[in-house]
Amino acid sequence: MGEGFFTKAIHAGEEPCPTTGALNPPIYQSTVFVFKSAEEAAAIFSEEAPGYVYTRWGNPTLSMLERKLAELEGGEDALVTASGMAAVTTAILTLVESGDHIVCSKGVYTGTYVFLSQTLKRFGVEVDFVDGTCPSEVEEAIKPNTRLI
């Protein structure tokens, strides 16, 4: 029988601390990381070897959280970001390219509205804002090149 939800919520994605053996892993608050050699640094920077460079790009605590979320959600992997806008931007940019169309609710978060209406416009992505509570308005806004609703 597999582990239950609460067991996964507590332990998934975690390993004992490799340095101290502590059962509960520490929270890593370092901004940057040390390398044993220039060669190791080059391999990690070029993603030829696993490791950490800068906390905004990842650290052991974030990696544990990503593994835990993936396990809880039954996914292959997960990605955590430093803000909601970073998450929204990442998700949208993986789905659209120049020439695509997006249908979005008029009631969207202001930061998302600005990203969609100004930033993506510069890259050739068209966005129509509609009343998201009105299915017919959403349906009418769909075009052959609509990639995201």
Per-residue pLDDT reduced to its tens digit, 8-53: 887 787 778 777 888 888 888 889 999 999 999 999 999 999 999 9
103 lies in the same domain as 144? yes
Q: Which residues constitute the domain of residue 17?
A: 5-73
- Residue 88 burial by Cβ neighbours in a 10 Å radius (0-12, 13-18, 19+): middle
- Which of 44, 73, 102 is the last residue in one of the domains? 73
52 lies in the same domain as 98? no
Question: Which DSSP state fits 4?
Answer: P
Domain for residue 107, yes or no? yes
Q: Return d(Cα 24, Cα 109) in angstroms, integer.
A: 37
Per-residue pLDDT reduced to its tens digit, 87-142: 999 999 999 999 999 999 999 999 999 999 999 999 999 999 999 999 999 999 99
Strand partners, 32: 54
For the entire predicted model, the pTM comes to 0.72
